Amino acid sequence: MSVAADQKFTELIDQSRGIIYKVIRLYVRNPEDEKDLFQEILFQAWKSYPRFDGRSKFSTWLYRVGLNTVLTFQRRPDLVRATDNLEPVGGSDHSHERNESVDALYQAIRELNDIDRMIVTLHLDGYENEEISEIAGITKNHVAVKLHRIKETLTRKLKDL
Amino acid sequence: MDLQQAWNKLRDERLSKPTSEALNIGTKSKHPIQKLKSAYLTTTLFAVVFLFVFVALLFVFREGLIQAFLWLMIASYTAAVMVNYRMYQRLEPVIPPDQDLKSVLVNTHVLITKNIRMQEYVALFIYPFAGATGFFMGGATASGDIMGMLAKQQVIIALIIMVIVLTPACFYLSRWLYRVSYGKCLNELQERINALDDPA
């Protein structure tokens, strides 16, 4: 890559690095894997960047690179992280309830298999079923069926609180 | 709080937290395909070393039979060097982001599996000759007369037994080693392909 392209890539990554964090936080619990996957996603994105044609947004493209990377990467067994546990929550009962919902959702998403996790998080991030089917490589109907079932499971878990 | 609200809050408060890593675009990958690529380079280098050893042995053992087997080994290892180096050049550890996830998972799985199978079965033809060459060299060192040694029926039987035992033993040992190295990764990929195919 030329120096200018390299600079442009670094700028774009700087603006969208939250996507890499999100993918890592959703799929990885082992600190060693966090480090490896962060570098791996950057590496994959950097090597593939010359083929980025700008037809989609850079953030969408990076999301795709991140998911393709994390789901083909051999991860180490999960380690329970202190930050995954419920943190003591101060303030009103209402905010306590809100935090519990967030924690419960996080936990419930983490309990899904990798593919279901990807499908539901793309959906919650506002991707249409058609886009999800293109990213995942399965039919639109298949996505809809899966989403229906996953959302039912997640909603039930949130209601159980 | 509904699912979407909880997600927005989760995404903003939890998932956007930076990891400990600084932005550092490395040039090294730990991806399974990269590991496979490195394994090919290592195999190529080992094959080159063995080639030199076989050439050196040509000067040590002057018996015609041993020389013939050594030339056979040299030919096999030359082919192995070429094939492995070609594979090293062909393997590309970068996942095409313009492909859908299922294609990427399936292609990665097929690539690794085919590759391992190919190496296992090619090696299966080399083990008997490698074993026999070692056997002849051992015999030549011990008795000094390889043709006289081979005239004995017990020696021929020992050679046949050695080949029969050693070939499958090496085959299964290499298969086990491949399973240890790549089995977990292949299983993980297969699980994800199955999860994509699962209609529920």
In a domain, residue A89? The reply is no
Looking at the fold, whether A75 and A150 belong to one and the same domain comes out as no
- On the question of pLDDT at A84 being above 50, the answer is no
**A-contacting residues in B 96-115 (Cβ below 8 Å):** 96-105, 108
Our CA-based measurement puts residue A42 at a distance from the nearest CA of chain B, in whole angstroms, of 6
**Final residue before a domain boundary, out of A81, A111, A137:** A81
Are B3 and A75 in contact (CB < 8 Å)?
no
Averaged over B54-64, what is the pLDDT?
92
Please tell me what DSSP assigns to residue B182.
I
Q: Whole-angstrom Cα distance, residue B120 to residue B137?
A: 25
Q: Is the pTM here over 0.80, yes or no? A: no
Range of the domain at A20: 1-81
> Model confidence at A140, in pLDDT bands (50, 70, 90)?
very high
Looking at the fold, whether A142 and A100 belong to one and the same domain comes out as yes
In a domain, residue A86? The reply is no
* Counts for chain A of helices (H) and strands (E), in that order: 7, 0
Q: Whole-angstrom Cα distance, residue A49 to residue A65?
A: 10
> Model confidence at B22, in pLDDT bands (50, 70, 90)?
low
Return the pLDDT at A89.
40
Average pLDDT of chain A is 81
> Model confidence at A87, in pLDDT bands (50, 70, 90)?
very low
**Final residue before a domain boundary, out of A81, A106, A131:** A81
Structure tokens at A132: 């999800």
Q: Which residue has the higher pLDDT, A126 or A85?
A: A126
- On the question of pLDDT at A90 being above 60, the answer is no
Domain count of the fold of chain A: 2
Return the pLDDT at A129.
92
Q: Whole-angstrom Cα distance, residue A52 to residue B48?
A: 39
Residue A10 CB partners (closer than 8 Å, separation 6+):
B23, B25
